[in-house]
A and B are shown apart, each in its own frame.
Chain A
């Protein structure tokens, strides 16, 4: 089975610009997660979807970050405007409802200069 797909792998932007990341989860996985991983730290959950509904976005900086999963399949995470402290790896993961394991994509490394 195909894994979680993310694009792009790398992105460099200037501060105050906008950027978008795309994630296609494993087919049939109802739950989709976006994590932010700052260098030297563990992944921090930004937002979690169950199908096309948000179940947890308590740590999403909503003044600049937004995410959607309109058809309950693939998802887009956007940052507008970007700040230097947004430099991180953005990981997408998915899991089947009730399953014990989350599967991760390879992430997008964002550098804000």
Chain B
């Protein structure tokens, strides 16, 4: 079974600085997707960035980028030029294929990011 591990319960970053959130996963599949979701106090999970496992190029979305190391099963999120609005819980997620032709998402335990003014 697939597992997702986030070893940093909480991280802090100064406004305008850069922070990296760590995520490791375990799987025997070769083709899969990885995601970072943001959960602000409103509780709604918002997709930050996704990575296809067969793509070697790291995904980027504006100030957000990932460092995807497939062999090491590592998927870290880098936030550049941190803003106060980035403060939230961040969840790493793995998308697993089901035989029914659908997918299920497995989440890590989350990292709470605090942004200091």
Contact = CB atoms under 8 A, between A and B. Distances in A.
Interface of A: 30-31, 33, 40-45, 48, 50, 55-56, 89, 91, 93, 95, 97-98, 100-107, 109
Contacts of B91: 42-43
B109 A50 contact: no
Contacts of A33: 104-105
Contact of B110 (A41, A48, A50, A103): A41
Contact of B33 (A41, A42, A100, A106): A100
Interface in B73-117: 91, 95, 98, 100-110
A56 B98 contact: yes
Nearest to B105: A102
A107 B43 contact: yes
Main secondary structure of the interface of B (DSSP, over half): strand
B114 to A, nearest CB: 15
24 contacts: A31-B103, A40-B109, A42-B107, A42-B108, A42-B109, A43-B45, A43-B91, A43-B107, A44-B107, A45-B106, A48-B98, A50-B100, A50-B101, A55-B100, A56-B98, A91-B43, A93-B105, A100-B33, A100-B95, A101-B50, A104-B45, A104-B46, A105-B44, A107-B43
A40 B109 CA distance: 7
A95 B107 contact: no
Interface residues of B, number: 27
Contacts of B100: 50, 55
B97 to A, nearest CB: 11
A109 B43 CA distance: 9
Contacts of A100: 33, 50, 52, 95
